[in-house]
Structure 1
Amino acid sequence: MRSIRAAATGAVILSLALAVSACGGGSPTGGGSEDSPKELTYWASNQGAGIEVDKKVLRPELDKFEKQTGIKVKLEVVPWSDLLNRILTATTSGQGPDVLNIGNTWSASLQSTGALLPWDAKNFDRIGGRDRFVDSALGSTGAEGKDPAAVPLYSMAYALYYNKKMFADVGITKPPATWDELVEAGKKVSKDGKWGLGAEGSNPAENIHHVFVFAKQHGADFFTADGRADFTNDGAVKAVKQYVDLMAKDKVIAPGNAEYAQNQSVSDFAKGKTAMLLWQSASANLKSQGMSEEDYGIAPVPVQSGAPGSGTNVNSMVAGINLAVFKNTDNLDGATEFVKFMTSDAEQKILNTAYSSIPPVRNAQSDPAFNTPATAVLKETLAKSAVALPQVPDESQFETAVGTAVKELFADAAAGRSVTTASVKAKLEKAQQQMPKK
């Protein structure tokens, strides 16, 4: 999924959603209705540098769908800061869209509400079959052993973006492959008001994505095999401390990044204020901010040691956007037809090119447009060294609780307060206490 700033109320709303008989779609103020079978409401997530960018990308395609089918699509692009709570509210109120984007990490949590249409074999057949989609994308569509709650739309992976000139100016000849090398490079360029690495320290979801990867590299996870929260194991504590220490101890992230929550680190990188950026499929975003592809390189996210992609050297979560349908939409045929259109080979090429993401549809992924240097690292990562976040019902509460704990630790680092193993463990213990009791 793309970066979000999940509100603390998300866990509360989700608990409510799990406690009621969830419904959704068919909004009298916007969703499909029996009186308007030729109309759908679509909530799209903010994928571009701004909401207007998304409207510019999507509107021509939605008009194309209307011309082909006669079904008009009412579009709302929802900011990431609002999307999860908007969806959760819709599952309890019934006042929602017909079709919507969800971050793929939320799939199991939203699946457990019962509000989303299950994509069984029959429904997959209506859009061309399940085998059209790559396995890594299908792995983030819901709990194991259950029919997916959504269909993959955009696939993304994290990569290390680095400023070629800033590296050359201090004699760095290749991108760092390990975290020790990243810290060394970051210290070399952190001078004269410039910094080594950007971060979104106040963004819980961004924090989760990074500490999840660090945990995997330490051979750990934040959940046990049976789905129970386990935030204070040694590997999880090491993971969080190592990430926050990039600011607290290593001094390669500017203290001001503790307050960043919505793409500011991308902007800093595009303006040459930082030399490195850890981001999901950033090329289109950087281009929209005036940075030429010739000015930066792309490499796999660093690992603890050795070559990326081997052993526990996970260097990304499986990032992406899924397309879901509210189960009680009054226009199920139209909604299914829309999903078929958006995941068609032709539309996958258009949309994923616009967002510099990777198509989760096999035929589209093989197109030459997705075999450029800018996408090669992302495809390789998704194929070999990316792991899905836990597909458990409590995943969205995990993002809020642990992501906020990391946010608070960044705030401590920025204020000059000591970040120790004990203080990290205490924050994670507090986060675990916020999780639903099993």
Structure 2
Amino acid sequence: MRKTRAAAVGAATLSLVLAAAACGGGSTSGSGSNEQPRTLTYWASNQGASIEVDKKVLQPELDKFEKQTGIKVKLEVVPWADLLNRILTAATSGQGPDVLNIGNTWSASLQSTGALLPWDAKNFEKIGGKDRFVESALGSTGAQGQDPAAVPLYSMAYALYYNKKMFADAGVEKPPATWDELVETGKRLTKDDKAALGVEGSNLSNNIHQVFVLGKQHGADFFTPEGKADFTSDGAVAAVKQYVDLMADNKIVAPGNAEYAQNQSLSDFANDKTAMVLWQTASATFKAQGMSDDEWGVAPAPVPSGTPGSGKATNSMVAGINMAVFKNTKNIDGAVKFVNFMTGDEEQKILNTAYGSIPPVKSAQQDPAFNTPALAVLRDTLATSASALPQVPEESQFETVVGTAVKELFAEAAAGRPVTTDSVKAKLEKAQQQMPKK
């Protein structure tokens, strides 16, 4: 998921009103008509630097689809802070969009609601077949042993982006490859009103992505093989503490970052306020903020030692956006046609180029536009050193309760209060108590 991004679980009254106002099925050609609706409602996730950027990217493509099929697509770009809550409300009420984007980590959680169209062999055949898609992207489309609940749309991975001028001014010749190097380099870069590293301490999803990867590096998964929450293992506690310690102990993250929740760390980076940021496919956002491509570099995210790989050398979650269809849409055929259009080779090249992401469609991925040095780092990461978040029904609750625990710990650090192994474990114990009992 992009770049992504906070998510809240629950059905707020406002979300219910908004979801009901955007109910699926579009409109028919007239009262009492038996014809298929000629309008689809589409909830798109905020992929660009702003919602307005997304509208400028997507609307010409939706107009193209309407010209080809006669089906109009009514677009709503939903901020990440609202998206999961809106979807869960729609799934509960039975009133939602026809087609929607979801963070790929939510696939199994949303699948368990029964609200999404299963992508069985017959449905995949309508969009060219399942084998068109990269295996790692398909691995984050729902629970194992079940038909996918969604189709991959954009593929992403985390990397370390760094400001070349700030590195040169500090006499740093190359980006750090390990966490020890990152802390050492960070202390050289943190001075005056500039910090070495930007984080988004109030961004629940981003918190989860970072501590999940650190958890893998410490030998923890946050869930047992049977799918039971396991937030208080030594590895999980060490992962969360290491992440928060970038502010609390290492002091290479500005205290104000504890309140960041929606791309503020990218804005700081683009405006030379921080020297590094760990993010998913951020190049398009930098460009939108006025930063030229030659001002920044990209390297694999840090690992404990050695080089990125599998197991404890994992340095990214398998990030990305999936496209799903609500089962109760009044126009299944039109919705599937729209998914087919958006995952077609031509659209995959256009959309992923616009967002700086990587097509999860094999044939589109071969286009030279996706062979740039920056994207090569991301492609290598996805191929060799990324791991999918657990595809369990409780994943969305995990993002909320553990993401909130990390947020609260960053707030403690920003206030100058100590963050200890015991205080981290206490927060994670509280989070685990909020999970459904198995």
Question: What TM-score do the two structures reach when normalised by structure 1?
Answer: 0.95
Task: Please say if residues 27 and 94 of structure 1, whose CA atoms lie closer than 8 Å, have aligned partners that are also in contact.
Answer: no
Report the CA distance between 1:386 and its aligned residue.
0.5
- Which residue of 2 is the match for residue 31 of structure 1? 25
Distance 1:178 1:51 in 2: 35
Structure 2 matches for 1:80-95, cutoff 5 A? 80-95=80-95
Q: What's the CA shift string for 1:220-278, capped at 9, x where partnerless? A: 11000000000000000000000000000000000010011111000000000101000
SS of the residue corresponding to residue 312 of structure 1 reads helix
Distance verdict in 2 for CA 1:353–1:135, change over 3 Å: same
1:27 CA displacement: 7.5
- CA–CA distance in structure 1, aligned partners of residues 384 and 195 of structure 2: 31
**Post-superposition offset of 1:31:** 3.1
Q: 1:111 — aligned with what?
A: 111
Alignment of 1:58-69 (within 5 A): 58-69=58-69
Contact in 2 for aligned 1:34/1:331 (Cα 8 Å): no
Kindly report which structure 2 residues correspond to 1:184-199, keeping only aligned pairs within 5 A, or say none: 184-199=184-199
TM-aligned CA deviation for residue 38 of structure 1: 1.3
Query: In 1, Cα distance between the equivalents of 2:49 and 2:399?
Result: 23
Is the partner of 1:208 in helix, strand or coil? Answer: helix
Letter in 2 for 1:45: S
The answer (yes or no) to whether the contact 2:40–2:73 under 8 Å persists in 1 is yes
Match of 1:223 in 2: 223
Report 1:286-435 matches (<5 A).
286-435=286-435
Which amino acid in structure 1 is aligned with residue 6 of structure 2?
R
Is this contact kept in 2: 1:402–1:428, CA < 8 A?
A: yes
The CA distance in 2 between the partners of 1:311 and 1:429, in whole Å, is: 25
Cα distance in 2 for residues equivalent to 1:239 and 1:28: 40
Q: 1:4: Cα distance to partner?
A: 1.9
- How far the C-alpha of 1:32 sits from its partner, in A, is 2.8
CA distance in 1, matches of 2:408, 2:384: 33
Q: Distance in 2 between matches of 1:357 and 1:254?
A: 28
SS in 1 for 2:312: coil
Matched, 1:138 2:132: no
**More displaced 10-residue stretch of structure 1: 90-99 or 63-72:** 90-99
The answer for the alignment partner of 2:267 in structure 1 is 267
> For the Cα contact (< 8 Å) 1:159–1:279, is it kept in 2?
yes
Question: How far apart in 2 are the matches of 1:94 and 1:31?
Answer: 11
Residues 26 and 328 in structure 1, CA contact (< 8 A), matched pair in contact too = no
Per the alignment, in what secondary structure is the counterpart of residue 243 of structure 1? helix
Gaps of 5+ in 2: 13-18, 30-35
CA contact (8 A) 1:37 1:330 kept: yes
Alpha-carbon distance in structure 2 between the residues aligned to 1:165 and 1:104:
35
CA RMSD of aligned residues (A): 1.4
Aligned partner of residue 154 in structure 2, secondary structure: strand
Q: Deviations over 1:160-197 (max 9, x none)?
A: 00011111111111110000000011100100211100
Distance 1:388 1:172 in 2: 33
The 1:27–1:202 alpha-carbon spacing in structure 2 relative to 1, beyond 3 Å, is closer
- TM-score normalized by the length of structure 2: 0.95
Give the aligned residue type for 1:31.
G
- Spell out the pairing of 1:144-293 with structure 2 (5 A cutoff): 144-293=144-293
Runs (5+) with no aligned partner, structure 1: 15-24
Q: CA deviation at 1:310?
A: 5.0
Which stretch of the first structure deviates more once superposed, 311-320 or 340-349? 311-320
Cα distance in 2 between the residues matched to 1:309 and 1:168 = 29
Structure 1 counterpart of 2:26, which letter?
G
Deviation at 1:88, TM superposition (A): 0.7
Identical columns (%): 78
Counterpart code for 1:103: G
Contact 2:310 2:386 in 1 (8 A): no
Q: 1:94: Cα distance to partner? A: 1.9
Classify 1:416/1:63 alpha carbon distance in 2 versus 1 (closer, same or farther; 3 Å).
same
* Structure 1 SS opposite 2:144: coil
User: For 2:59 and 2:195, how far apart are their aligned partners in 1?
Assistant: 38
Q: Quote the residue 1:5 is aligned against.
A: 6
Q: Give the match's secondary structure for 1:239.
A: helix
Please give the secondary structure, in 2, of the residue aligned with 1:75: strand
8 Å CA contact retained: 1:26, 1:329? no
Determine helix, strand or coil for the equivalent of 1:221: coil
SS at match of 2:162: strand
Deviation per residue, 1:193-215 (Å, 9 max, x gap): 11100000011111000000000
Specify the SS of the correspondent of 2:26: coil
Residue of structure 1 in register with 2:32 after alignment: none
Check whether the contact 2:24–2:330 (CA below 8 A) recurs between aligned residues: no
Whole-Å separation in 1 of the counterparts to 2:350 and 2:286:
18
Hey, what's the Cα distance between the residues in 2 that align with 1:370 and 1:133? 16
Q: 1:329-350 CA deviation, whole Å, 9 max, x = no partner? A: 1100000000000000000000
- What is the total number of aligned residue pairs between the two structures? 425
